[in-house]
Structure 1
Amino acid sequence: MSSIVIVGVDGSPTAEAAASRAGVLAQALGAELQLACAFEKLEIERIDVGTEEFFFSSVEDAKTTAETVARSLKAELPRPQDRGQGGAGQTCRRARRARRGDGG
């Protein structure tokens, strides 16, 4: 039976401290660490620059937050565990890939 430690992150110092603690716990248990980052509602902003359009959304902000925390944990924790993707959703998969260092 595999163990999973899940921690919510939002980019705040408190959430970063919780993620760090969860990373240490996951390593001690030999468990997979999953990061979750939620958003209240889908917001999409379109910006036109010349002939190009750029779209920004709360989904991308959540993914970026999770990936940033994952990279920080990778640097902080000497040997993070990774036991595969499971059913955690794209953000967690991206976070684990970022933690492993193979992009997003």
Structure 2
Amino acid sequence: MGLLSKSRKASGDVIYNNEVKPQLVAKDGNIHIVMINSFSKLVNQNFGVESKYTEQIGSVINDLQQDGYEIVDIKFDSLKGQGITGTAEGFHTLIMYK
């Protein structure tokens, strides 16, 4: 695992602990949601895995499960032409959990 990959996973952990975790509803058997906004990596012009998104969101999902939440569904959409340079893709990830 490369340095950049470790950094991205660590940033996912930080987002989980500082932003996601305080928004989580106590486990009550009901389905709840959390929406996460993110961006693609700077150079995202080729066919392949979007490693930045995969590593950051993957880290959040892992942390949710490690805290005992069940992932019910994940919904996703993207917007082109986002970010300061207008060249990134913006991602919205809706995580449904119990």
Scaled to the shorter chain, the TM-score interval is 0.3 to 0.5
TM-score (norm 1): 0.42
**Which gives a bigger RCO, structure 1 or 2 (Cα 8 Å, sep 6+)?**
2
Structure with greater strand percent: 2
TM-score (norm 2): 0.44
Structure with higher Rg: it is 1
